[in-house]
A = this chain, B = another copy of it.
Amino acid sequence: MGMIGGGKDAFIGAIHRLAFNMDGLVEMVCGALSINPQVAKESGESLFLASDRIYMNYEEMIEKESLMPEDKRIDFVTIVTPNFAHFAPAKLALQKGFNVVIEKPITFTLEEAKELKQIVEETGLMLCLTHTYAGYPMVKQAKAMVKDGALGKIRKVWVEYPQGWLSKLSEREGNQQAAWRTDPKRSGKSGCMGDIGTHAAHLAEYISGLKITHLCADLNIFVEGRALDDDGNVLLKFDNGAAGVLMASQVAAGEENALKIRIYGEKGGIEWAQMEPNTLLVKWLEAPAQVLRAGGNYSDRLSSFATSNCRTPGGHPEGYLEAFANIYRNFATTLMAKMDATEPSKEALDFPSVDEGVRGMAFIDNVVLSSQSDQKWTEYKV
């Protein structure tokens, strides 16, 4: 595998490396780690890359790797650049025959996302979008329970994602993460909604199995001088008639990364919070609530969809990196099966793909459109 972006001091690139290292299925052998040649070189060396596979830019990397013998060259690239620089390397990689792992949001614009989808379909290659939170075992358990009808028909979806780290104008105080994420030229149409609202929207659709059809958005910029929304509350309608609320904020002072979802059906509800990810609280209309735990000693109640994404026995907490690693593991297992022309297991197949990427970009478009509209409901168009 080769990485595009993710030089030293980059946050998400380091996270990707921790995640794909864990299971020993993926080896990083090359990289175009920075547009700054010095950084690219130093970063590559510190990661023990062979010096001839430390590339100065992604074009060079994709070109040279594509010329290597099949058993030597990389199988896929991972793209961890800022949003505006996702599309071009992804497109080139696919065109040159490489599979792609890409950070969310998939592209800078919805149009680019649709174009990628077309290329993926034409090439038959795989694209994996790292919606990390979908990698948690108890998220998968929740999805399985909804799908199996345990909660009855779904009526309500509440998803919230408060963070506090942009409570000040940090983008002007030397915070590089803040700088690009609040910059329309690098981040896109939306700040908070693009960065974390998309995670919340994906999680809501992923677990519920429903699709948002209409939304009503109130996006806000609370920190004076900021160029993009740092907060937003959105009413939702789903395709089965369920109602929802999506709340995301980066100015919820004192909050860390408190993604949480609650879904209620006719018979009960589920509650899952990312900061205590190994617990799924299941509430029942007419019975005591149950505390389902990753690795719990009741295999009849835990879906294999969940347990196949656990590494440790109950009570040995797995966290964000393991969830991230699950995305990679499921992608890599599927890729290896495909390369071996064998049938990957159903569970292994589960990772977010280009369709989720398109849908995420549509979410951003729709939520921004709605926020600018006087009408209550905006149809969710893709």
In angstroms, how far is the closest chain B Cβ from the Cβ of A147? Answer: 18
Copies in the complex: 4
Name the distance in Å between A33's Cβ and chain B's nearest Cβ. 14
Tell me whether B218 and A218 are in contact (CB under 8 A): no
Q: Does A97 contact B (CB under 8 A)?
A: no
Tell me the smallest distance from the CB of A350 to a CB of chain B, in Å. 20
Evaluate contact between B315 and A318: CB separation under 8 angstroms. no
In this complex, the interface size class of chain A, counting residues with CB under 8 Å from chain B, is 35 or more
Contact residues of A between 271 and 289, Cβ < 8 Å to B: 274-278, 282-289
Give the residues from 284 to 304 in chain A that come closer than 8 angstroms, CB to CB, to chain B. 284-293, 295-298, 301
The segment from A62-70, A118-126, A159-167, A330-338 that touches chain B is A159-167
A322 to B162, CA, bound (A): 25
Contact A312 B320 (CB under 8 A): yes
- Residues of B near A162 (CB, < 8 A) are 262, 264
Does A231 sit at the interface, judged by CB under 8 A? yes
8 A Cβ contacts from A224-250 to B = 231, 233, 235, 237, 243-245, 247, 249
Cα separation A253 to B297 with both chains bound (whole Å): 11
The answer to whether B289 touches A257 (Cβ under 8 A) is no
The answer, among B47, B216, B289, B295, for a CB contact under 8 Å with A216, is B216
Cβ A257 vs Cβ B24 within 8 A: no
Q: A298 contacts which chain B residues (CB < 8 A)?
A: 284, 286-288
Task: Name the one of B18, B216, B231 contacting A376, with C-beta atoms under 8 angstroms.
Answer: B216
Contacts of A284 in B (CB 8 A): 253-254, 298
Q: In the bound complex, do residue B251 and residue A155 qualify as a contact, i.e. CB atoms below 8 Å apart?
A: yes
A129 to B254, CA, bound (A): 34
User: In the complex the two chains form, what is the Cα distance from A297 to B315 in whole Å?
Assistant: 27
* A291 touching B290 in the complex, CB below 8 Å, given contacts A22-B18, A24-B21, A245-B247: yes
Q: Is A53 an interface residue (CB 8 A)?
A: no
Q: Is A373 an interface residue (CB 8 A)?
A: yes
> How many angstroms between the C-alpha atoms of A256 and B319 in the bound complex?
17
* Residue A184 interfacial (CB < 8 Å): no
The reply on A17 being an interface residue by CB < 8 A is yes
One digit per residue, 1 when the CB lies within 8 angstroms of any chain B CB and 0 when it does not, for chain A 144-168 equals: 0000000110011010101111011
Q: Is the C-beta of A321 less than 8 angstroms from some C-beta in chain B?
A: yes
Q: With a CB–CB cut-off of 8 A, which chain B residues contact A318?
A: 319-321
Evaluate contact between B251 and A156: CB separation under 8 angstroms: yes
What are 21 A-B contacts defined by CB distance under 8 Å?
A: A11-B313, A15-B312, A22-B321, A162-B262, A164-B269, A216-B218, A231-B243, A233-B243, A233-B245, A253-B266, A253-B268, A253-B269, A253-B284, A254-B268, A254-B289, A255-B264, A256-B295, A278-B319, A288-B290, A288-B301, A290-B291
| A interface residues with partner B (beta carbon < 8 Å) | 11, 14-15, 17-18, 21-24, 47-48, 151-152, 155-156, 158, 160, 162-165, 167-168, 216, 218, 220, 222, 231, 233, 235, 237, 243-245, 247, 249, 251-258, 262, 264-269, 274-278, 282-293, 295-298, 301, 311-322, 373-377
A21-B24, A156-B222, A220-B243 provided; 11 other pairs, C-beta below 8 A?
A: A155-B251, A164-B283, A233-B243, A235-B235, A254-B289, A256-B295, A256-B296, A256-B313, A287-B301, A311-B321, A312-B321
